[in-house]
Amino acid sequence: MEKAIKKAVKAGYGLGLLTLEQARRVAGRIKSELNLDDAASKKLAKELVHSSRKASMEVLHVVSRNFEKAISKSGVAKPSTIRKVKRKAKKVWRRG
């Protein structure tokens, strides 16, 4: 099963960009290859989406951290200023 999942991901789905519809298609392929029932196929699709979201969040975290370091090292802003801006942005984002 692991080989089939890796094959599907390598086929262009990209785990970090997987949507629910794409996960269902991948799960459908794996379902037919491994003769899984519907419940197992749905569970697999949900797990793929969860993994995709987790991978996306990890990538965003790394990019954010590296961006903050670059801004700080370049002298554009101090780390304390960056933290303040992030807090303000989170508040605005939550308000919608």
Burial 43-73 (b: 16+ CB within 10 A, else e): ebbeebbebbeeeeeeeeeeeeeeebeebee
Instruction: Report if pTM > 0.95.
Output: no
In 1-95, the DSSP E strands lie at: none
Quote the pLDDT of residue 12: 44
Domain boundaries, given as residue ranges, for the chain: 2-95
Burial environment of residue 77 by CB neighbours within 10 A (0 to 12, 13 to 18, 19 or more): middle
More confident residue, 28 or 82: 82
